[in-house]
Amino acid sequence: MTSGNVPTLDARIERWPIEGNFTISRGAKTEAVVVVADVTQGNTTGRGECVPYPRYGETPEATLAAILSIKDAIGRGLNREALQAAMPPSAARNALDCALLDLEAKQIGIRIWDRLGRLAPHPCVTAYTISLGSPETMAAATAKAAHRPLLKIKLGGDGDGMRIAAVRKAAPDSELIVDANEAWTEANLEQNLAACANAGVTLVEQPLPAGQDRRLAHFKRPIAVCADESVHDRASLGTLRERYDAVNIKLDKTGGLTEALAMADAAIAQGFDIMVGCMVATSLSMAPAMLLAQQARFVDLDGPLLLKHDRDGGLRYDGSLVYPPEAALWG
């Protein structure tokens, strides 16, 4: 940070209604609950947004408290590098990391990718998510999105063969990726993978529960398998190479863009394909991930498309093509 006025930190919980509902194997929700951090120095404010995830024991209230617990340290000049050691990887650290990056870019007057020595992001195709439901419900939702080049299909265990067959029939030309959200078992793993292969699915995310995925290393996988809940940051990459072909990098898991970029570099060096993922949230959550998208085989940054409305000045979406953020939004 530059010298001058003492930096201040504020944070708040925001709720953004979802268009319809969003259903995965762990349940459904009708709103996105995010926590936003603002770090202000002088007349300049940097912003970051995160999504607390109950799967990892996070709540909006606890995340807000964790962010505000760093308030005094921010006032004493805690910078982004020191933040990595001051807080564990979490949604809270993500919001702070991204806010500090945004502030840094605005104070210097250059885009954050130039500051970090990264390639300027270009528009990329994002997946569009089809929620879990009956085969008929999913086929109907898929038919409405069949013009999109990449669809992400939420599956949930028993009956997934019928679901993916119905989806494929409704979208014969779209590339399909599947997210099981840990809902498959060793008993139905091979059957469900075969059904996905028969439907021409390109990738399956997290078929088995994290910590119970050793079976993936002991047979020839008919399609690529991606770790999500099994991978969080660089430290979790080492044991996964025999089980997974790709890793899903999400800023709320890595604790911010700083670790996410380092993790992407490490994952590529170890031979993994990269997927960039998101939670359902506004464009302020997606914007930093656009830097990661430049290294990714799969981009899943459709969170704002699932909301009734996005925040003002959000990312530009042209169908499934998502454009880099304007400076006023982030970075």
- Dump pLDDT digits (tens) for 180-189: 999 999 999 9
Least confident of 114-118, 125-129, 217-221: 217-221
pLDDT at 238: 86
Quote the mean pLDDT of the chain.
Answer: 95
Q: Quick check: 107 pLDDT over 60? A: yes
Please determine, looking at this structure, whether the domain spanning 124-322 carries the CATH number 3.20.20.120. Answer: yes
The model carries a pTM of 0.94
For the stretch 127-162, pLDDT in tens is 999 999 999 999 999 999 999 999 999 999 889 999
**Domain residues of the chain, as ranges?**
8-113, 124-322
Q: What's the rounded mean pLDDT across residues 206-225?
A: 94
User: What is the arrangement of strands in the sheet containing 128-130, beginning at the earlier edge strand?
Assistant: 128-130, 150-154, 175-179, 203-205, 224-227, 246-249, 273-276, 298-299
For the stretch 260-311, pLDDT in tens is 999 999 999 999 999 999 999 999 999 999 999 999 999 999 999 999 999 9
pLDDT at 24: 73
pLDDT at 325: 98
Cβ contacts of 89 within 8 Å, gap of 6 or more: 232, 233, 253, 254, 255, 259
Query: How large a percentage of the chain has pLDDT more than 70?
Result: 98
Q: Is 250 a catalytic residue?
A: yes
- Name the phi and psi angles at 265, rounded to 5: -60, -45
* Residue 4: how many other CB atoms lie within 10 Å: 10
For domain 8-113, the CATH class is alpha beta
Cβ contacts of 90 within 8 Å, gap of 6 or more: 56, 58, 63, 66, 252, 255
Q: Residue 26: pLDDT band by 50, 70, 90 thresholds?
A: low
d(CA 16, CA 6): 32
pLDDT at 4: 55
Total residues found in the chain within this entry? 331
Select which of 29, 71, 144, 154 is catalytic. Answer: 154
Select which of 106, 152, 250, 253 is catalytic. Answer: 250
Q: Do domains 8-113 and 124-322 have the same CATH topology?
A: no
For the stretch 27-56, pLDDT in tens is 778 999 999 999 999 999 999 999 999 989
